[in-house]
């Protein structure tokens, strides 16, 4: 393992966050939601750089994930429909004020293991109600937003369970450094150029306007319709006001919106899915006219069930994303147990909410109209991986031609 | 130094906070504002006990005091009138909803030393505007609230600068344990009985309805008028709805409201005052018709000046409090550099805002009426100590009799 100076790495990371991910504008305020108290050192680096870039104010809402466990252990059993709405009020106010929003922190993937799934689901549903307007604004890119996951001790020991906590955290940093290209001489310059490349590929795909994508791999045989006017997005995101940003760092994916009622066939997940602190492993889904009609999982089937039962549309897809198997994250050969990284190692789908920006005119549509043209609206948006080096992808053009897109997990085009 | 188990101490402390200080009601929600991330262990203990007592929800807003320094170092110089109002919105919502509110954390008394006082004052004034409605609700005891200050590393090394940080923190815990009577077999039982005693004494003082108090000590010669209908408070506080609680732990004081325009003479402070992270030491004030007309300080005079210039009423008094010199805190012979402790070692005054509850009918009064009868309204409320073993206090009764209250810092009555 290479040696690195954590403080230097964190400063590089913070600069990448502010300059590329958020592309902070002069004077713009920044709101940070930190998933753990231990994010403090990097949060302070982000504050420093944001202020140096001229931000008028940086404020931070720290979440304490241990408190979630304390609640599950000790709170009255009938109190789990309560939610501290000041927390979502704060995020909503920031977005409505046009502040940039940073979500930072890689949570413990096993945080909620062993707790009552019914209570967890009740709490998640209460949260879902309050977070919905925020998801709507994010889905419309109302302002710059960014999700990054620096290592946390609780997460590291899940990824490297045989190692000491110190070594595990060091190894996870090493992987994150590679995935985020913090080992590049100038990570900001690297990402600016790489995001340009992803944007070019997504523009090419949007121009093709495939009617259907076909996915085949062991355990997977899926036909997925795309609505007319669908937009592939990759690399840069753009706010409604036209500011360039990048909502996920790292990102390798190019994604769009399936037609919610035109998904048929079977899907086998190729990586575990961490949902509300529980792990769903080796699961399969069967779709009929867009809806998950059957499902099974070797582990965490109950968690999968409660996820699918969040609301009526949780069983429909909101996203399809293409990631070549040779991505650097895939090359690390590591299951991160964290969607931000794992989704960028593989082709994936998301159950639940679709992004308005993946449809021409989507951001301005009424919810009803969005549904009619094939857009899905749900309290959840959960990515899961189904790509592998054994996956082929083909696109059906409007003229009936079937065009190969990926073979053995890699792009056919160059 | 006695040995103690920190976890056991913190659990006792948390129980005292929930059962006596806040007197949490069945199902009542709790909002916690933590002054530092390192408060997490005791915050989690408070959550546990609050939930065990049936609280429906406990939420925590963590402040990071290091971020305050980051801002002062790096933020644009013209941005210090900005304030993250979602933080006060959260507290205000909690109080308006009838939740109990806990403020927890002993900040670094030297936090802001060396930074530009003009920026500090600008930031304080911006905060003051947003915190005003909260102060109003606290002043009216709209709901149960409590301030406690468990030791923090940054604070401990200021109190014991010659010791290692570990030893300093341990010594400060030892002092806090004694001051909060956490070494009592049953701290909750101790405080319930002690708060009853303080209440009895304050009721006696209220019945006397002194017109004027006279304070004499080296450097102090002060006449302080009390408005008709003034109420002495000591021990228990009561919410507007009649719930018993205790807003400061520890508390040794019995306090009321001076008439804002009837204060004349000189006052010499007997302990340093920590204000917005700066220390004001060995200072004297001269009052004429209630207003500070002259002042001087051996150290921190500029900080004192900017404090007095916060608003028009910052130069008037809002509180006078009596504390016998034999209080256990005084017995520790320690300058805590923290008002919660230091004010309970000595007679003290507060510049700025008066508490509505210190006047008969005060909580319901319009602001104008409150001012006419002698109540002071200001963005600040800053206690400073002027008592000592050399202080005498006398009370002038409505019939003209001068009655001795304290001699050499101790109560004359028993």
Q: Per residue in B92-142, pLDDT tens?
A: 999 999 999 999 998 898 888 889 989 998 999 899 899 999 988 998 899
Strand partners, B33: B61, B103
ipTM value, please give it: 0.87
Please say if the pLDDT value at position B351 is more than 80: yes
Asked if B317 contacts B355 with a C-beta cutoff of 8 angstroms, the reply is: no
Of B54, B58, B89, the CB nearest to A89: B89
- Distance from the Cα of B270 to chain A's closest Cα (Å) equals 37
Q: What is the mean pLDDT of residues B260-274?
A: 94
Residue contact A62–B37, C-beta within 8 A: yes
Q: What is the mean pLDDT of residues B218-231?
A: 97
Asked if A245 contacts A145 with a C-beta cutoff of 8 angstroms, the reply is: yes
Strand partners, A343: none
What integer pLDDT is reported at residue B228 of this predicted model?
A: 96
Cβ contacts below 8 Å, chain A against chain B, sum to 121
Mutate to test the interface with A, among B18, B27, B49, B51 (most CBs of A within 10 A): B51
Residue B414's pLDDT band (cuts 50, 70, 90): low
Q: Would you call A208 an interface residue with chain B, using a CB distance cutoff of 8 Å? A: no
Residue B331's pLDDT band (cuts 50, 70, 90): confident
A213 closest CA partner among A414, A363, A391, A370: A391
Q: What is the mean pLDDT of residues B170-198?
A: 96
Is the bond preceding residue B250 a cis peptide, omega within 30 degrees?
Answer: yes
CATH class of B6-179: alpha beta
Of B43, B48, B64, the CB nearest to A60: B64
Residue contact B71–A93, C-beta within 8 A: no
- Prediction pTM value: 0.88
Q: Would you call B100 an interface residue with chain A, using a CB distance cutoff of 8 Å? A: no
CA B179 to centroid of chain Cα atoms = 15
Asked if A190 contacts A223 with a C-beta cutoff of 8 angstroms, the reply is: no
Q: Is A185 left (phi over 0), alpha (psi -120 to 50) or beta?
A: alpha
Give the span between the Cα atoms of B351 and A19, in whole angstroms: 45
- Chain B environment of A43 (Cβ under 8 Å): 64, 67
Asked if A213 contacts A394 with a C-beta cutoff of 8 angstroms, the reply is: yes
Question: Any idea where the domains of chain A sit in the sequence?
Answer: 6-179, 207-233+252-411
For the sheet containing A317-322, what is the strand order? A233-234, A254-256, A317-322, A348-352, A381-385
- Distance from the Cα of B366 to chain A's closest Cα (Å) equals 29
The helix/strand/coil state of A132 is helix
In order along its 414 residues, chain A shows pLDDT tens digits of 457 899 999 999 999 999 999 999 999 999 999 999 999 999 999 999 999 999 999 999 999 999 999 999 999 999 999 999 999 999 999 999 999 999 999 888 888 888 998 999 899 989 989 999 998 899 889 999 999 999 999 999 999 999 999 999 999 999 999 999 999 999 999 999 999 999 999 999 999 999 999 999 999 999 999 999 999 999 999 998 999 999 999 999 999 999 999 999 999 999 888 887 788 999 999 999 999 999 999 999 999 999 999 999 999 999 999 999 888 888 898 989 888 998 898 899 999 999 998 999 998 899 899 999 999 999 889 999 999 999 999 999 999 999 999 999 999 976
Residue contact B90–A89, C-beta within 8 A: yes
- Distance from the Cα of A9 to chain B's closest Cα (Å) equals 19
Mutate to test the interface with A, among B15, B49, B55, B75 (most CBs of A within 10 A): B75
């Amino acid at each position: 393992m290479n040696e690195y100076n954590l403080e230097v790495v964190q400063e590089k990371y913070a600069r990448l966050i502010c300059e590329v991910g958020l592309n902070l504008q002069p004077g713009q305020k920044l709101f940070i939601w930190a998933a753990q108290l231990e994010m403090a050192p990097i949060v302070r680096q982000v504050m420093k750089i944001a202020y140096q870039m001229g931000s008028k104010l940086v404020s931070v809402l720290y979440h304490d994930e241990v408190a979630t466990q304390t609640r599950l252990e000790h709170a009255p059993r009938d109190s789990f429909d309560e939610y501290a709405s000041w927390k979502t009020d704060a995020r909503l106010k920031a977005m409505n004020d046009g502040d940039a929003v940073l979500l930072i922190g890689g949570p413990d993937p096993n945080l909620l293991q062993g707790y009552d799934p019914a209570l967890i689901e009740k709490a998640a549903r209460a949260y879902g109600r309050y977070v919905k307007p925020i998801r709507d604004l994010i889905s419309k890119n109302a302002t710059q937003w960014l999700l990054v996951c620096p290592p946390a001790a609780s997460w590291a020991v899940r990824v490297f369970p045989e190692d000491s906590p110190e070594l595990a955290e060091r190894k996870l940093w090493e992987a994150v450094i590679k995935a985020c290209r913090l080992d590049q001489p100038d990570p900001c310059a690297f990402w600016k150029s790489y995001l340009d490349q992803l944007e070019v590929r997504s523009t090419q795909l949007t121009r093709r306007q495939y009617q259907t994508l076909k996915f085949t791999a062991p355990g997977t045989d899926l036909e997925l319709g795309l609505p007319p006017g669908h937009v592939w997005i990759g690399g840069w995101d753009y706010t409604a006001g036209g500011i360039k940003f990048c909502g996920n760092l790292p990102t390798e994916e190019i994604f769009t919106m399936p037609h919610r009622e035109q998904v048929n066939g079977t899907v086998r997940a190729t990586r575990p899915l961490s949902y509300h602190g529980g792990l769903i492993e080796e699961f399969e889904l069967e779709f009929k006219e867009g809806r998950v009609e059957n499902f099974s999982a070797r582990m965490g089937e109950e968690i999968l069930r409660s996820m699918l039962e969040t609301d009526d549309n949780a069983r429909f897809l909101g996203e399809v994303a293409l990631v070549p198997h040779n991505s650097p994250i895939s090359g690390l050969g590591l299951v991160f147990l964290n969607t931000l990284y794992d989704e960028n190692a593989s082709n994936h789908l998301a159950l639940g909410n679709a992004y308005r920006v993946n449809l021409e005119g989507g951001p301005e549509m009424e919810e009803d109209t969005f549904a009619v043209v094939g857009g899905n609206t749900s309290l959840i948006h959960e990515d899961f991986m189904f790509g592998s080096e054994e996956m082929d992808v083909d696109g059906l053009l409007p003229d009936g031609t079937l065009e190969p897109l990926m073979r053995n997990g890699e792009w056919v085009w160059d």
